[in-house]
Chain A
Amino acid sequence: MAEHIIDSIFLFLPEITLTLTLVAAVLADLVLKERNRMVAWVVFAGLLVTGVFVLRQCGLNESIFSDMIAVDPFSVFFKGLLTIAGLFIVLFSVVSKELEQNGRRIGEYYMLLTGVLLGMFLMAGATNVLMMYLAFELTSISSYVLSGFTKNLRKSAEASMKYIIYGSVSSGFLLYGLTLLIGITGSTDIYGIRDALQSSVGHDAVLYLSVMMILVGFSYKITVLPFHFWAPDVYEGAPTPITTFLATASKIAGFALLMRFFRISFVDGGITDFAGYEGIIAVIPWNIIVAILATLTMVGANLMALWQDNIKRLLAYSSISHAGFILMGLVLLNDEGMAAMMVYLAIYLVMNMGAFFIAMIISDRLHTERISDYQGLGRSSPFLGVSMAIFLVALAGFPPTAGFIAKIFIFGAVIHAGWIWLVVVAGFSTVISLFYYIRVVKNMFLSEPPDSMKPIETSRGVMAVVIMLLIPVFVFGIWFSPLLSWARDAVVLFGL
Chain B
Amino acid sequence: MEFNILGIGVLTWLVFLPVLGMLLVLLIPGNNKNAIRWTALGITALQLVLAVIVTCLFDRSAAGVNDPQSFQFIEQFRWIAVESVPWIGKIEILYFLGIDGLSILMVLLTAIISVIGVISSWNIEKMVKGYFVLYLLLVTGMMGVFVALDFFLFFIFWEVMLLPMYFLIGIWGGPRREYAAIKFFIYTFFGGVLMLLVMLGLYFSVAYTNEAGEMVHTFNLLHMMNSANFVEGSIFYGLDTTWRYIAWVALFVSFAIKVPLFPFHTWLPDAHVEAPTPISVILAGVLLKLGTYGMLRILYPILPDGTVYFMYLMAFLGMISIIYGALCAMAQDDFKKLIAYSSISHMGIVMLGMASLTNQGTVGAVLQMFNHGTITAMLFLTVGVLYDRTHKRGLYDFGGIANQMPKYTGIAMVALFASLGLPGLSGFVSEFFSFLGAFDAFRWITIISVIGIVLTAAYVLWTIQRVFLGEGKEEHNSLADLTGRELVMFVPLLLIVIFLGVYPGPAIELMNTSISTLVEFVGLAGK
Chain B residues, Cβ within 8 Å of A408: 196, 200
Question: Of A27-35, A310-318, A366-374, A429-437, which binds chain B?
Answer: A429-437
A411 within 8 Å of B (CB atoms) = yes
Selected contact of B197 from candidates A335, A416, A423, CB within 8 Å: A423
Nearest neighbor of A479 in chain B, beta-carbon distance: B80
> Chain B residues near A176 (CB, 8 Å)?
none
Partner of A275 from B83, B87, B181 at Cβ < 8 Å: B87
Q: Does B122 contact A (CB under 8 A)?
A: no
B182 and A438 contacting across the interface, CB-CB below 8 Å: yes
B279 to chain A minimum Cβ distance, whole angstroms, is 14
**Contact mask for chain B residues 217-248; partner A; CB cutoff 8 A; 1 contact, 0 none:** 00000000000000000010000000000000
Chain B positions 161-188 with a Cβ under 8 Å from a chain A Cβ: 162-163, 166-167, 170-171, 177-178, 181-182, 185-186
Query: If A335-B87, A411-B197, A415-B204 touch, does A435 touch B186 (CB 8 Å cutoff)?
Result: yes
B155 in contact with A399 (CB, 8 Å):
yes
Which residue on B lies nearest to A435, using beta carbons? B186
Q: How far is the CB of B235 from chain A (nearest CB, A)?
A: 7
Verify B82–A481 contact, CB threshold 8 A: yes
Question: Judging by beta carbons under 8 Å apart, are B200 and A442 in contact?
Answer: no
Cα separation A445 to B166 with both chains bound (whole Å): 11
Contact A424-B160, Cβ < 8 Å, known A431-B189, A446-B181? no
Cα distance, A434 to B181, chains bound together (Å) = 13
Cβ contacts under 8 Å, B196 to chain A: 407-408, 411, 427
| Contact between B87 and A334, CB atoms less than 8 A apart | yes
**Smallest Cβ-Cβ distance to A429: which chain B residue:** B193
B81 at the interface (CB under 8 A from A): yes
Q: Are B186 and A434 in contact (CB under 8 A)?
A: yes
CA distance A87 to B383 in the complex (A): 56
Contact residues in A for B313 (Cβ distance below 8 Å): none
In the complex formed, the residue of B with least CB distance to A379 is B127
Contact A412 B87 (CB under 8 A): no
Q: A276-B87, A415-B200, A435-B186 are in contact. Are A427 and B194 (CB under 8 A)?
A: yes
Separation of A428 and B196 alpha carbons in the complex (Å): 12
Which residues of A are found within 8 Å of B177, using beta-carbon distances? Answer: 446
Q: Mark B191-212, 1 if CB is under 8 A from A, else 0.
A: 0011011001101100000000
In the complex, A12 has a CB within 8 A of chain B: no
- Tell whether, in the assembled complex, residue A399 and residue B83 are in contact, meaning their CB atoms are under 8 Å apart: no
A355-410 contacts to B (CB < 8 Å): 379, 393, 398-400, 404, 407-408
Question: Which residue on B lies nearest to A415, using beta carbons?
Answer: B200
Distance, CA A416 to CA B220, complexed state (A) = 18
Contact of B200 among A336, A393, A412 (CB under 8 A): A412
Q: Are A336 and B87 in contact (CB under 8 A)?
A: yes
Judging by beta carbons under 8 Å apart, are A276 and B91 in contact? no
Known contacts A411-B200, A415-B197, A418-B235: does B88 contact A276 (CB below 8 Å)?
A: yes
For B446-480 the 0/1 string (1 means CB < 8 A from A) is 00000000000000000000000000000000000
Q: Are A412 and B204 in contact (CB under 8 A)?
A: yes
Name the distance in Å between A33's Cβ and chain B's nearest Cβ.
Answer: 44
**Which residues of chain A come closer than 8 Å to B182, judged between CB atoms?**
435, 438, 442
Q: In the assembled complex, which residues on chain B have CB atoms less than 8 Å from the CB atom of A208? A: none
Interface presence of A480 (CB below 8 A): yes
> When A335-B87, A416-B204, A484-B91 are in contact, do A427 and B193 touch as well, CB less than 8 Å?
yes
Residues of A within 8 A of B160 (CB): 399-400
Contacts of A489 in B (CB 8 A): 85
A66: interface (CB < 8 Å): no
Q: What A residues does B3 contact at CB under 8 A?
A: none
For window 275-322 of A, CB contacts with B under 8 Å fall at 275-276
- B166's contact among A400, A411, A438, A479, by CB below 8 Å, is which? A438
Taken together as a complex, chains A and B put the C-alpha atoms of A431 and B190 apart, in Å, by 6
Complex interface: chain B residues within 8 A of A399 (CB): 155-156, 159-160
Of chain A, the residue at the smallest CB distance from B197 is A427
Give the complex CA separation of A412 and B80 in angstroms: 16
Contacts of A458 in B (CB 8 A): none
The answer to whether A488 and B197 touch (CB under 8 A), given A434-B185, A442-B170, A445-B171, is no
Does any Cβ of B come within 8 Å of A485's Cβ?
A: yes
Contact A445 B170 (CB under 8 A): yes
Give Cα A400 to B80, complex, Å: 14
Query: Which chain A positions have C-beta within 8 A of B81?
Result: 481
Q: Residue-by-residue, is A462-496 near B (CB-CB < 8 Å gives 1, otherwise 0)?
A: 00000000000000000111001100110000000
User: Cβ of B163 and Cβ of A393 under 8 Å apart?
Assistant: yes
Residues of B within 8 A of A435 (CB): 182, 186
Contact bitstring B241-283, A, C-beta under 8 A = 1, else 0: 0000000000000000000000000000000000000000000
Q: How far is the CA of A198 from the CA of B193 in the complex (A)?
A: 41
- The 8 A CB mask of B72-91 against A (1 = contact, 0 = none) is 00000000111101011001
Q: Which residues of B contact A424 (CB under 8 A)?
A: 197
A434-B189 in contact (CB<8A): yes
Find out whether the CB atom of B163 lies under 8 angstroms from the CB atom of A398: yes
Is A442 a contact of B178 with CB atoms below 8 Å? yes
Residue numbers in B under 8 Å from A428 (CB-CB): 193
Return chain A residues, CB-CB under 8 Å to B127.
379
Q: Which residue of B lies closest to A431 (CB)?
A: B190
Bound complex: CA A331 to CA B129 (Å): 47
Instruction: Point out the residue from B80, B167, B186 that lies within 8 Å of A481, measured CB to CB.
Output: B80
Residues of A within 8 A of B82 (CB): 481, 484-485, 488
Most buried by A among B155, B156, B185, B189: B189
If A336-B88, A399-B160, A485-B83 touch, whether A431 touches B203 (CB-CB below 8 Å) is no
List 17 contacting pairs A-B, 8 Å CB cutoff, sorted by A: A399-B155, A399-B159, A400-B160, A408-B196, A411-B196, A412-B200, A415-B197, A424-B197, A427-B194, A427-B197, A431-B193, A435-B182, A442-B181, A442-B182, A446-B178, A479-B80, A484-B82
9 nearest A-B pairs in the assembled complex, by CB-CB distance: A399-B156, A427-B193, A446-B170, A335-B87, A415-B200, A484-B82, A412-B200, A416-B204, A276-B87
A: residues with CB less than 8 A from B are 275-276, 334-336, 379, 393, 398-400, 404, 407-408, 411-412, 415-416, 418, 420, 423-424, 427-428, 430-431, 434-435, 438, 442, 445-446, 479-481, 484-485, 488-489
Interface residues of B (CB under 8 A from A): 80-83, 85, 87-88, 91, 127, 155-156, 159-160, 162-163, 166-167, 170-171, 177-178, 181-182, 185-186, 189-190, 193-194, 196-197, 200-201, 203-204, 235
Could you list 7 further interchain pairs (A-B, Cβ under 8 angstroms) beyond the known A275-B87, A408-B196, A446-B177?
Answer: A276-B88, A415-B200, A427-B193, A430-B193, A431-B193, A435-B186, A446-B170
